[in-house]
Amino acid sequence: MMQQKRFTFRKKRVKNKVGSNQPIHKMADIDDKTEKNVPGKFYVDCNCIDCDLCRETAPDFFARDDDEGVSYVSKQPETDEEIALCQEALEGCPVQAIGDDGE
């Protein structure tokens, strides 16, 4: 019987300048915001790969730009609970395309 090959996916680790093997956390770039973000603290940048995770995590605050195939912040959170939900979406984004240093 043929043995099935197992695939495992690991976060890519890159040595930083001081030689540490910690993963490098790339921040979203406020200068690369996608078009439809509403003004405010949270935003999505053009690194979005349209995976849908943020829209599932916080559907009241993230929406899809169907023309561009990216997410954007459709409403800024106001309460602590809403902010925590958006923060959860930020932390879950696989390509760090969500920023929290917007204006």
Question: Pairing state of beta strands 98-99 and 43-44?
Answer: antiparallel
Q: Pick the stretch among 3-11, 13-21, 52-60, 79-87 that binds ligand SF4 (CB under 6 A).
A: 52-60
* Amino acid letter, residue 11: K
Q: Pick the stretch among 3-11, 16-24, 45-53, 76-84 that binds ligand SF4 (CB under 6 A).
A: 45-53
Question: How far lies 77's CA from each of 6, 29, 39, 43, 87, in Å?
Answer: 42, 20, 11, 11, 10
Residues 54-93 close enough to bind ligand SF4 by CB under 6 A:
54, 71, 93
Question: Which residues contact ligand SF4 (rule: CB under 6 A)?
Answer: 44, 48-54, 71, 93-95, 97-98
